[in-house]
Amino acid sequence: MSDYKNIRFSVDNGLATITLNRPQSLNALSSGLKADFLDAVRTTSQASSEARALLITGEGRAFCAGADLAEGSLAGPERDLGKSLMDDYHPILLELANLNMPVISAVNGVAAGAGMSIAISADIVIAARSAYFLQAFVNIGLVPDAGSTFLLPRLVGVARARAMMMLGERVPAETALDWGLIYEVVDDEKLADHAKSLGERLAKGPTRALNGIRQLVAQSLKNNYAEQLQAEAQMQREMGSTSDSTEGVLAFIQKREAEFKGK
Binding site for ligand T3D (CB under 6 A): 25-26, 28, 65-70, 73-74, 81, 84-85, 110, 112-114, 134, 136-137, 139-140, 142, 145-146
Nearer to ligand T3D, 64 or 103 (CB): 64
Minimum CB separation of residue 237 from ligand T3D in Å reads 41
Nearer to ligand T3D, 101 or 127 (CB): 127
DSSP 98-144: H-SS-EEEEE-SEEETHHHHHHHTSSEEEEETT-EEE-GGGGGT---
Minimum CB separation of residue 233 from ligand T3D in Å reads 39
Residue 262: burial class (beta carbons within 10 Å; 0-12, 13-18, 19+) = buried
- CA-based nearest residue to 166, from 149, 146, 179: 149
Interatomic CA distance for residues 247 and 199, integer angstroms: 21
Nearer to ligand T3D, 85 or 192 (CB): 85
Residue 43: burial class (beta carbons within 10 Å; 0-12, 13-18, 19+) = middle
Minimum CB separation of residue 255 from ligand T3D in Å reads 51
Nearer to ligand T3D, 65 or 191 (CB): 65
Minimum CB separation of residue 184 from ligand T3D in Å reads 22
Residue 188 gets which letter from DSSP? G
Minimum CB separation of residue 4 from ligand T3D in Å reads 19
Sheet of strand 124-128: strand arrangement = 7-12, 15-20, 53-58, 103-107, 124-128, 184-186
Minimum CB separation of residue 115 from ligand T3D in Å reads 6
Nearer to ligand T3D, 81 or 239 (CB): 81
Nearer to ligand T3D, 109 or 262 (CB): 109
226: number of Cβ within 10 Å? 8
Contacting residues for 175 by C-beta, under 8 A, at least 6 apart: none
